[in-house]
Structure 1
Amino acid sequence: MTRCNRLSLIFVLACTAACTAPDRAGDPAGAAPAAGAGEPVDATAPASGEGDVLAGEGFRAQGNEPFWAIDVEGDVLHFVTPEMPEGRTLQGVRIAHAKGVAFSGEDDGRPFNLDITRVGCSDSMSGQEFEFTATWDYAGQRMHGCARTSE
């Protein structure tokens, strides 16, 4: 694949990730939604409480340089990259912790861990604001990005 084609694919995937994000119409620009009904998020509270946004089922996590995206439904993660546009579906174990939630497992002997924490995040390329920070460890490589709920 030529450099130009590779860059075009990266651009298309980045645009697709941005275009498939949940609609935030009505949210003030740059405002991170609160976890509860107008309540501030307490980063020290357990992530398993009823009504807690991190106790929800779905998330979208994504990062740049390298580009990656993960859609989480329950304990199932779908991981895509420009080099792997068809993606990989991974079965994880959901682990709630004081600062958020993590999903851990193995993919053909390669360990993975997606950690989503209650720290606001700004996309390094688009400047878009997200409600959570994401760290993706896959097969010995650590990648950083942002996340939001997909529900």
Structure 2
Amino acid sequence: MNLCANIPRNTLVAFDNFFTSCNLMEDLYEKGIYAVGTARCNRKDLPEIMKNKQPKALKLQKHQFASVTAEPITAIKWFDTKEVSVLTTAHIPLDIMFINQTQKDGSKQKVLCPTANAVYTLSMGGVDLFDHFRSSYPISRKSRKF
């Protein structure tokens, strides 16, 4: 909340799953700040569709999504190559758009995606890319110099 103290109203804030929680989303919404962020499936107060332990009948197929709304928060789970869970206060749950997805052979394919996921990807692309590359080079390993 301290990081968002000087942000003007009607601004969209995107953040990673470390910060995303229902309480934070509600507090930001009350201050007039919209938010979108990925969510960890083991967080407190998340709806059942966000949990990992789902019956087979509720499993999503590739490029399908499910959503639940409890005003002002919408929880969206989308299955691309793996399940992606997003909490948002800025998007309509059934609002979808086409995105270009690069295939293994280098070609582009148009894929249906919830708008919340697409906006999150556009907003957080650089930060997530940095986290991805940083995970490849663990610097906390101990070593001995001979």
Q: Same fold (TM over 0.5)?
A: no
- Whose helix fraction is larger, Structure 1's or Structure 2's? 2
Measured against the shorter chain, the TM-score band is under 0.3
Using the size of structure 2 for normalisation, the TM-score is: 0.24
Alignment TM-score, normalising by the size of structure 1: 0.24
> Greater Rg, structure 1 or structure 2?
2
